[in-house]
């Protein structure tokens, strides 16, 4: 199980795990729960550049279509093809096998994101 206190979060309900200068990004359980059963995921291509706080993908569920925002600026270095092939992984393990993209970033940029306590406060105490 992922230690959720070691992650950073965005107001758009993404989580970020930083290893060196690579940020692994996914959506939180809170977001996955609000979306409902995820049926389609559209992710940016490896090698593409994303800009923080801009739309870089799409997540469709049985309830709605949600946009995936880049939490940080950088280059996409990996996408989770398993999630593209089986979008339900976003619901069954959003912090584990349900990660979406890996972005090469400036590690200092991560400091501007929310910590776990701030994210829980944002969601009204729901985790």
Per-residue pLDDT of the chain (127 residues; tens, 9 = 90+): 578 889 999 999 999 999 999 999 999 989 988 889 999 999 999 999 999 999 999 999 988 888 999 999 999 999 999 999 999 999 888 888 899 999 999 999 999 999 999 999 999 876 5
| Sign of the alpha-carbon torsion through 58, 61, 65, 71 | negative
56-85 burial code (b ≥16 CB/10 A, e <16): bbebbbeeeebebbbbbebebeebbeebee
Report the C-alpha gap between 13 and 44 in whole angstroms.
18
DSSP-based three-state secondary structure for 79: strand
> Could you give the domains of the chain?
4-106 (2.40.50.100)
> What pLDDT shows up at residue 63?
86
Report the C-alpha gap between 90 and 48 in whole angstroms.
22
Take residue 49 and report the two structure tokens written for it.
């550049």
């Amino acid at each position: 199980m992922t230690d959720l206190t070691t992650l950073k979060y965005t107001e758009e309900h993404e989580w970020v795990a930083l290893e060196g200068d690579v940020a692994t990004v996914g959506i939180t359980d809170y977001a996955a729960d609000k979306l409902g059963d995820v049926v389609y995921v559209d992710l940016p291509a490896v090698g593409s550049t994303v800009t923080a706080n801009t739309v870089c993908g799409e997540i469709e569920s049985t309830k709605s279509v949600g946009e995936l925002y880049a939490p940080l600026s950088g280059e996409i270095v990996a996408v989770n093809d398993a999630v593209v092939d089986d979008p339900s992984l976003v619901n069954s393990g959003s912090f584990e096998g349900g990660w979406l993209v890996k972005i090469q970033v400036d590690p200092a940029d991560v400091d501007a994101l929310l910590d776990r306590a701030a994210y829980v406060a944002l969601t009204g105490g729901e985790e």
